[in-house]
Structure 1
Amino acid sequence: MTAFDFPRPVMTPEAETLRGEVRAFLDEELGALRAAGKYVGWTHADPAFSRKLGARGWIGMTWPRTYGGGERSATERYVVIEEMLAAGAPVGAHWTADRQVGPLLLSHGSEDQRQLLLPGIAAGTCYVAIGLSEPGVGSDLASIKARAVPVDGGYRLSGTKIWTTNAHLSHYAVVLCRTDGEPGDRHAGLSQLLIDLGSPGIDIRPIIDMTGSHSFNEVHFDDVFVPETMLIGLRGNGWAQVSGEMGNERSGPDRFLSSFAVVEALVRRTREKPSDERRAAVGRLVAQVAVLRRLSASIAEMIRKGEDPTVQGALVKDIGTALEQEIPEVARRLFAIEPSPEAADPLSALVGSTLLAAPSFTLRGGTREILRGIIARGLGVR
């Protein structure tokens, strides 16, 4: 398999049956909001909604039953998250825990850590944030300054993490920090710690984005004691563990479906007011989404086989987020609308809210420059 081979995804009859169940559920839960153009999006959190998904077995779907999982296929999980994203469901409370933390603990966590978190995550009642980026560090994650000093019985953690999604709602955070060596050592000496966010010495400060929403946070750790039992995996192996997480974070449909509600609205509006230009532009968008869906779904197959999707995930994320940002601009050009989240016209409301969120699409999960460096290494040209 070369760096840019994508296996053929297989949509089973079981997965397509499940798709119908999910759509019926979403129509009942979100139908009125969608009809009014009130697209929420996957970064928004609704704990009650997450609990409903957990009760249906739609979180931790591929995990072992002993940890609350459903032991279902990666394809079935893909169908559920695809439908949630396309509908703009408010899945933010459990999203990071389901997408990244669960697989991390299944691969590297201790049995105690799995028993502590996984059943609650699968039930939609336990939420976990990821502490990676730091002020002044940008995309150069290897130069982080947060440090956990080994002490008797554990570590003392000090430092600051930024853009920590939904930390204010989360019960725990997985924090990448330096336990050994100096910043110049780059990847060596980094570890991952599981932090109880109710511990003394933690200050969670809100960051309000351009949409007026609060999902981002700055989290400050001031000499926080972390028991040694909360070290995830091996001390000093944090960089390798985080790199494995990134394949899951970057390859999913959340990297090209953030603007999908606008595509659906564009299709409906073009049927009502057709022209050759509009048909051609909307057709191109639909074709691009279809290709990205095929690539993204094939990565679910790679993960099922235990293959490393790092390069393929970077490619999907880079192309996908660029398309997400282009979609609302196409809508503005085709219909000369005045976008506003408060507009009475559903298309104008969708475009308005999407435009405000769009600058973040190419930042979250790694900037375009970082992703293209990964892709270049996969091609052997860097």
Structure 2
Amino acid sequence: MKETQFVVAVFLSACWAGIAEASKNSNKAGNKLIRAGFYITGFLGLWYCYAIATTGIDYTAYLREYQMLANVPNDRILSSGFEIGYLLIAKLLAFAGANAEMALLIFRTISIVNIAVAIWMLQSEINIFFAVIAYASILFFDGYHIVMMLSASLILMGISLVLRQKYKVGLLFCSAAAMIHYSGTLFLIVLIVIYILNQKNVLMPEWWVLWIGAILIALCAGNLVPAVVTRFSMLAKYKKYITTSGLSLGSAQIIYYSLPTWLMIRLKKTENNTPWKNIFYILIPTGFCVAYIGYSFGIFDRMYEFFSANFILFIPYCINKVENRKLDMKVSNVNLSTGIWCIIFLLYFALRAYVFIAGHPVGYEFGPLQGVFS
């Protein structure tokens, strides 16, 4: 499948989301249904391109792995070496009669539904047009990591619930994500820490202190990562990812995280004790730390997906604030118009998508589009 077909699908999805965003201030019941219809239609195009594709680098490996999971004896579930959640779901689908192709279709469908619902639940607080653009530029083209994406989608759903102050349900979603892919445990720990700090009203350290801590951890990763992976037997299969020739500069992540970092600096001036500020106050530096380490340790190179809310939810939240003139965005005492800021945000996400597509030919990873129904 050619890259242009995916780009067209993303463009059309963004258009439908833009229409839904433009009409969200209307409280008429009929308009709400129409808005939801446009939004769902947009995601159907993304679902077709993502869920139905049956080729790609990892696809055949997942087919073989599913067959292995389905044949694991019940008395060896705990000692099989596979993630327990992933194994149980696979065995349940196999018991229901799903073959490997259908099982992967179901995994992908659940992933994209989770992401669509997570964004829609926050429609009153974020710009859903930019949220869809962010998803398309950061996760959609990287979606061939099927199990990792399933776990990441559950985490995004969990964060969305936490932002709506449904902490316990959100933590359950993130716990399920960790059971499906054990690397999600890191994010679960971070979210539990955030939950405890918010429940106990603990005085948060200055943001620059958190950033220094994140940078120091990244710099010490050369010793920390191998020690943790070799310490726990459940992480044994990740040992092959810990070989490294040393930490790289990670300049791309510095560029990527410059925007959410700057937006948080502006947001801190107008918001004090809101869920958005309290959660992303920690998630942004933590996400940068994980992504930075991923340049040198393969075990971390896909874990940035778990922190995609920094881009898919936080940036669209700030854009919504800019549109409603509730966020001071002056640069050198010059107050740029909302339209100019929207163009800047669009260029940012377009750059993210271009960088990924240029380094990972979509036609090779995903296509040609040979669906399970063809």
Q: How high is the TM-score relative to the length of structure 2?
A: 0.32
Q: Which has the higher strand share?
A: 1
Give 1 or 2: higher helix fraction.
2
- The alignment's TM-score, normalised by the length of structure 1, stands at 0.32
For CA contacts below 8 A with separation 6 or more, give which structure has more relative contact order: 2
